[in-house]
Amino acid sequence: MVERVAFLGCGSWGAALSSILAEKGIKTHFWHRDNRVIKEMKKSRKHYLLPSIEFPNSVEFFSDINKAIEKVDSIVVAVPSQNVREVLLMAQKKIRNSNCIINIAKGIENNTLMTMSDVIKDVLKNKSNIVTLSGPSHAEEVIDEKPTAVVSSSKNLALAKYVQGLFSTNKFRVYTNTDIEGVEIAGSAKNVIAIAAGFCDGVGYGDNTKAALITRGLNEISLLGRKLGAKSKTFFGLAGIGDLIVTCNSIHSRNRRLGELVGRGENLSEILSQSHMVAEGVKTADSIYSLRTQLNIEMPICESVYRVLYSNSNPIREVDKLMTRNLRSEY
């Protein structure tokens, strides 16, 4: 029997992953709430944001979420993190216990401060078949078949291995990991550090600054993760330092780019209104600020990003504050 996978959301990352499955002969369903987008892609067989992605006939398009998930084996949650709950509530009656739920969203829900796997469990009532696929992986490079490595993470190792086999190719290598909390915290928090890296690019700081930022940023991410029960080693793997490096440096990084524009003095609201893609780090900065307050831990870089985004602080002033804090040991 040919496997079927439904993607809830039609973003560039979901489209890149669907192209991997199509190459392997796996039937793919794409859902988008806007029927105009669905009609456009049906007609052109190209992605509406990245026309370099051409969809084969094995890909079907739906604006009805219930029809999209009918008779599928796995469901990929591919909408922005703050929309995951809403979309799952729309689909929950048709999601079967046998469905593997694969999360590719990276963020922490604002109101509840839940990771995405916790949101999924909350909506689907303790659904255990949850996997998060994460790591250093820009859609543009996956589409161009540039070698990429990510992690498939689940408390259920057999399920992590299933997703590993589902997506692995000679250009897209998938490792397994059972620390889903660590993988999700790393994938979420790195977007906030990437915005800070963008600030540095925007104001004209150099390699020394960014190296310090990435290193100390990883320390903050690891501290938060350990407080939430994650394993330290996860932050030194693909989902941690790997994803952090690529998001802080790449021209493809939405979060770094947003930070760069803010660093140049552009208005955040205008940047967001003109962008067709979501920079998850903006909302995640709010969630992490609340989490670090709740947990009573110091995350000075993330706090600085929050103040720039939400309190109209200046990136240069915030760097000065970071550089003139009380001197201390590195560890």
Same domain, 34 and 171: yes
Tell me the pairing of strands 59-62 and 74-77. unpaired
The 10s digit of each residue's pLDDT in 33-50 is 999 999 999 999 999 888
Q: Are residues 19 and 132 in the same domain?
A: yes
45 and 173 both lie in a single domain: yes
Nearest Cα to Cα of residue 10 among 45, 44, 42, 37? 37
Strand arrangement of the beta sheet that strand 100-103 belongs to: 59-62, 27-31, 4-8, 74-77, 100-103, 130-134, 148-153, 172-177
Output DSSP code: residue 235.
Answer: G
Whether residue 253 sits in one domain with residue 119? no
What CATH number is attached to the domain comprising 265?
1.10.1040.10
Same domain as 201, residue 138: no
Rounded Cα distance between 125 and 48, Å, is 34
Residue 331 located in a structural domain = no
Give the per-residue pLDDT at 164: 98
User: Is residue 330 situated within a structural domain?
Assistant: no
What is the pLDDT, as a whole number, of residue 50? Answer: 85
Q: State pTM to two decimals.
A: 0.96
Runs of H (alpha helix) within 275-328: 281-295, 300-310, 315-323
Asked if residue 329 belongs to a domain, the reply is: no
- Domain assignment of residue 328, yes or no: no
Q: What is the pLDDT of residue 274?
A: 87
Give the total number of structural domains in the chain. 2
**Residue 70 and residue 166 in one domain:** yes
Is there a single domain that holds both residue 65 and residue 201?
Answer: no
Residues 193 and 113 in one domain: no
Cross-strand bridge partners of residue 175: 151
pLDDT of the residue at 126: 67
Would you say residue 48 lies in a domain? yes
Q: Are residues 205 and 132 in the same domain?
A: no
- What's the sign of the alpha-carbon dihedral 78, 84, 87, 93? positive
Last residue of a domain, one of 132, 153, 178: 178
Residues 123 and 222 grouped into a single domain: no
Specify whether 89 is located in the same domain as 188. Answer: no
Domain with 146, as residue range(s), is: 4-178
Q: Which of 27, 106, 190, 283 is catalytic?
A: 190
Annotation marks residue 190 as catalytic: yes
pLDDT at position 190, please? 98
Decide if 84 is inside a domain: yes
54 and 174 together in one domain:
yes
Q: Of 192, 189, 194, 196, whose CA–CA distance to 319 is shortest?
A: 196
In a domain, 174, yes or no: yes
Of 178, 207, 238, the domain-final residue: 178
CATH code where residue 107 lies: 3.40.50.720
Q: Do 264 and 256 touch, CB atoms closer than 8 A?
A: no
pLDDT for res 128: 79
Could you tell me which residues come within 8 angstroms of residue 220 by beta carbon, excluding any fewer than 6 positions away? 189, 193, 299, 300, 301, 302
- pLDDT < 50 stretches in the chain: none
How confident is the model at residue 2, as a pLDDT? 64
Q: What is the pLDDT of residue 201?
A: 97
- Asked if residue 301 belongs to a domain, the reply is yes
- Determine the Cα–Cα distance for residues 284 and 302; give it in Å rounded to an integer: 10
* Domain end call among 150, 178, 206: 178
d(CA 277, CA 225): 27
Residue 209: per-residue pLDDT: 97
Query: 113-164 pLDDT, tens per residue?
Result: 999 999 999 999 867 799 999 999 999 999 999 999 999 999 999 999 999 9
In degrees and rounded to multiples of 5, residue 170 shows phi and psi of -75, -5
Q: Write down the pLDDT at residue 199.
A: 98
Q: Report the pLDDT value the prediction gives residue 49, as an integer from 0 to 100.
A: 85
